Structure 1
Amino acid sequence: MQLKETSTEAFVKDAIELAPFIHAARDEMDRERRIPAALADRLDEAGVYRLFLPASMGGPQLDPITGYRVIEELSRAEASVGWCGLLSNGGALFTGNFTAAAGRDMFGYPPRFRTAGSFRPLGEARAVPGGFRVSGRWDYASGIYNSNWLFVNSRVVDQGGPLLNEAGRPETVMLFTPVESAQVFDTWQVVGLCGTGSNDFELDDVFVPTERSFRLYAPPLESGFLYHPRTMLTAIWVLVSAVALGTARGAMDSFRELATESGTTISATLLRDRPQVQSRVGEAEAIISGARAHVLDAVGRAFDNFCEDMPLPSPEISQARLAITHSINEAAKAVDLLFHAAGTNAIHRRNGLERRWRDVHVVVQHGAGLLSNYEFGGQALMGLRPSDAGW
C-alpha cells in the first residue's frame, strides 16, 4: 500500500461529503456515547485523525487554517465528531517530538493513527532501563474507543517521590502507549458532546520505551508552526474554535429549517415571518461570521509570521490566542440567541437545535474558552510576561 497524494482542499471536500453518514449515526452516538466504529473508519479513511501528523511519518501535515476548516465542517454536522478529530490531532502535534523512524515504527507507513489521551499529569512514571514504568488514572479521553494509541502526561518519580526540575516544579514526561495497555472506565454521562466517549482510563505499571517519550516544551525534532512549543497550543486550540463555530453554524442550519416550518405554542405565524426573530437571526449570523473572520485572520497572521526565535510575548500569538477564546464564547452566544428565538420548539430533540445548544455549552468549558485567557492576553499586550504557557 502506498501513500495517497491528496490536496489540502480535498480534505475539506471529504469532510463536507461525510455529513450524511454523520447525520445517520447521531442516534447511535447518543445511545452508545461514542462514535460508531463504521463511521470512525470513514473518518480515518478521510485522514481526519492525522491532519497534523508530520509528513516525515506519512501524515499530511496540514496548515492550521485548513485543519480548522476540516474540523469546522465535521462539527457543523455533529460536534462530537469534530471534537474527536481535534483531540486526535492534538496527539499528532506531540509526534513532532519523535524521530521519523520512531513514528513510522509506531504508526506504520502509511500511518494508522488515531489517538486519545490526557494533557494533565495525573500519573506517575518511574525511570527504568530502556524507558519508564507508568501507572495512573486519567480522564476526558475523547475518542478512546476508536483509538489505537494513547498519550499521557505523568509526574516523574523515584524512591524518594516526585522529581523537581530546575524551576522547583514537578518534572513531567509525555508518553505514548498502545490503547490495549489501558483499562477503560465508563464515566461519560454528560449533557453535551455525548458521542465523544470521553471516558477515564487507567495504566498499571505499563512499560513505555524511551523513544516513545518526551518532555513537554522541549525543542521538538520536527520544525514549523505545528510543533514549536510557543505555537503548539495555538495550532490545536484553533480547532476548539472550529468545533464551537462549526456547531454554531449547524445551529443556524437547524434554526433556518425550523423557521420555515413552525410557529410557536402562542402563534401560528412562522418564525421566519416575525420581525423579532429576523433580528435575532441577523445578530447571530453577524456574531458567527465576525468571530470566524477574526480567528482565521489572527491565526493566519501568526502562521505567516512564524519564526523559530519569536519574541516573548509574541504580538501575533497573543492576537491569535485572544481570537480563539473570543470566538468560542461568541459561538455560544450566537447559539443562545437562536435557541431563545425558537421558543418552545428549541427543547425538542427532533429539531436538532437543542443538541447544538448542549454541545456548544460543553465546548466553551474547555481551557481554550476560559475567560482567564483574556487576562493572559492583557498581560501580553501591556508588555508583561503571561503567567500561562504558549503566549
Structure 2
Amino acid sequence: MVRAEIMERQKEISKTPALDRIAAMKESLVAAGDEAQQLRHLPAWASKEMADQGLYRFALPIELGGENLRAREQIEIIEAVSAIDGSVGWCTQISSEINALVIRRMDPSLADKIFDDWDALVCSGHGPANGPNPGRGAQRDGDGWRLNYQGSFASGCHNANWNFLMGAMTVDETTGKPARASYMVPLGEFEIIDTWDTGGMRGSGSHDVRMTDCYVPPEHLLPFRSLAPSEIWANPTYRNPTHAVYNKAAVALGVCRGAIDTFIELAQEKTPWGTISKLRDQPQIQYRIGEAQATLLAARSFVMETQDRLEEHLGPLPENGGRLSPEWEYFWPALLACAHAAQSTRKVVGMINNTAGTTGSRMDSPLERQLRDAQQAANHALISYRHYEELGKTFVGHEQPAGYMELSRA
C-alpha cells in the first residue's frame, strides 16, 4: 500500500466528482490543447494540473491511491476531456490506462514504489521505430536484462517518469525470439526521439522512446505476459481484454461530442454566403444535426452497454466466483462497439465539418482540429476498421483469430 498521504489526498479529491473537476478546469484544458498544438506534446504545467486533479489515477485501485473506477466511469471521464480537446483527452486516456495496465501482473512492492509518487505517469512506445535506431534487442545480464530498443507512439512521454516495455516487442539477442520478460524503465534511462509531427492528435506527444545499453534490474521486471488478466486486483477492469480499446473509443466519442457542440454554437450565428437564413433555420442543417446526434448516441450506447455486460460477466476474482477471462460471446460485441464508435464518429465529424462550410477549415475553428483528431483516433489499430473484417469472419463460420482475446498492447 502507498503512503497514507497519497491515500488521504485521493480521498479528498474524490469528494468532488471527476466530471465536476473537469468542468472546473475547462479553461486550463483549452489552453493546454492550444499550447500542445505548438509543442506537439502536452505542456508540463498542464500535465501537472491534470495529475493534481487525479486524471491519471482514477483507474488505479484504492490501495494505490486511485478511484478504482470501472469501464463506464472511465469512459465518461475521457469523453469529457476529449470534448474539450482531443490531444488532451488522448493524454488522459493513455496515461490513466497504462498506469492501470502495468499493475495487472506487477509485484505489489514495485506498484507501491511507482505509485507512491502522486505524479506517477507511465508511457510506452511499442510501435515501429522511426528513422535510424538501435533496433529491439534485449540481452540477459545477470538477473536483469540490458536493452537497446526504440519504439514509437509513446504518447505523453514528455511528462512520464516511467516507461513500460513489453517483452513481446523485444528480441532476445541470444535466442532470436521475444525476450521472456517485460520491463519498467525509470525517467533518466529512456530518451525521447522527436518523431511525432502529425495533424491529428498533434498535441499528444506520441514520439519515439529509445533505451541505449539500458540495464533493467530484476526488481523492475514484469512477467512476459504482463497484460494478462490480473489475479490480484478485484475490479473486473483489470481482467477486461478491451481496457486499452474502450479508452480509445472514448476519445473518439468525446471528440465527436465536442464537434457537434461546436457546430450547434456556430449554427446560432452563421448565415452562409449566398443564403438569407442562419444555419439553425435551414432544414438540411436540421436534418444533418439530427442524424449526427442519433449516430453519436447510438454508438455511445453500444459501447457502454457492451462494457457493462462484459465486466458484469467477469464479476469478482475467480477465487470469489468470478472469471479470469470472458467468454467469446461477451468479448466480441464489446470490441465491435469500440471499432464502430471510432469509425461512425469519424464520419459524423466529417459531415459536421462539411456542413459548417469554410468555417470548418479555418485554423482558428475548433472544427478544424476536431476533424483531424477524429480521423487520427479512428486510425488507431485497436479501433481500426479492420476489426469489422476480423469479426465479420467469425459471423460466417470462420474461427476467431488466434490470440484475439489477448490484450497485447496499450
* TM > 0.5 fold call: yes
Alignment of 1:37 with 2:50, yes or no, is no
> 1:290 aligns to what SS in structure 2?
helix
Structure 1: where are the runs of 5+ without partners?
164-169
TM-superposed deviation, 1:329: 0.7
Contact map agreement 1:104 1:111 (CA 8 A) in 2? no
Alignment of 1:215 with 2:224, yes or no, is yes
Deviation string, structure 1 residues 162-214 (Cα, Å, up to 9, x no partner): 13xxxxxx455321111321121211111111111111121001111223222
Contact map agreement 2:125 2:153 (CA 8 A) in 1? yes
Runs of 4+ in 1 over 6 A off after TM superposition: none
- Where in structure 2 are the equivalents of 1:95-110 lying within 5 Å? 95-108=103-116
The equivalent of 1:327 in structure 2 is 341
Pick from 84, 89, 92: which aligns with 1:85?
Answer: 92
Pick from 113, 124, 136: which aligns with 2:149?
Answer: 136
Alignment of 1:387 with 2:402, yes or no, is yes
Structure 2 distance, partners of 1:298, 1:194, is 30
Residues 64 and 219 (structure 1), Cα distance of their counterparts in 2 relative to 1, 3 Å cut: closer
The equivalent of 1:200 in structure 2 is 208
Structure 1 distance, partners of 2:340, 2:153, is 23
- Where in structure 2 are the equivalents of 1:355-374 lying within 5 Å? 355-374=369-388
The equivalent of 2:132 in structure 1 is none
Name the aligned partner's letter for residue 243 of structure 1. Answer: V
Residues 225 and 377 (structure 1), Cα distance of their counterparts in 2 relative to 1, 3 Å cut: farther
Contact map agreement 1:313 1:385 (CA 8 A) in 2? no
The equivalent of 1:339 in structure 2 is 353
Alignment of 1:157 with 2:162, yes or no, is no
Aligned-residue sequence identity (percent) comes to 28
Name the aligned partner's letter for residue 387 of structure 2. Answer: N
Q: Which moves more between the two structures, 283-292 or 342-351? A: 342-351
Structure 2 distance, partners of 1:129, 1:227, is 31
> 2:150 aligns to what SS in structure 1?
strand
Structure 2 distance, partners of 1:299, 1:80, is 24
How does the TM-score come out when normalised to structure 1? 0.90
The number of residue pairs the alignment matches comes to: 380
Deviation string, structure 1 residues 276-297 (Cα, Å, up to 9, x no partner): 1111111011111111111101
Contact map agreement 2:33 2:88 (CA 8 A) in 1? no
Pick from 112, 115, 134: which aligns with 2:119?
Answer: 112
TM-superposed deviation, 1:356: 0.4
Pick from 228, 236, 250: which aligns with 1:225?
Answer: 236
Contact map agreement 1:8 1:62 (CA 8 A) in 2? no
Name the aligned partner's letter for residue 238 of structure 2. Answer: Y
> 1:206 aligns to what SS in structure 2?
strand
Structure 2: where are the runs of 5+ without partners?
129-134
> 2:170 aligns to what SS in structure 1?
strand
TM-superposed deviation, 1:310: 6.4
Q: Which moves more between the two structures, 281-290 or 345-354? A: 345-354
Name the aligned partner's letter for residue 222 of structure 1. Answer: I
How large is the RMSD of aligned CA atoms in angstroms? 2.2
TM-superposed deviation, 1:27: 2.7
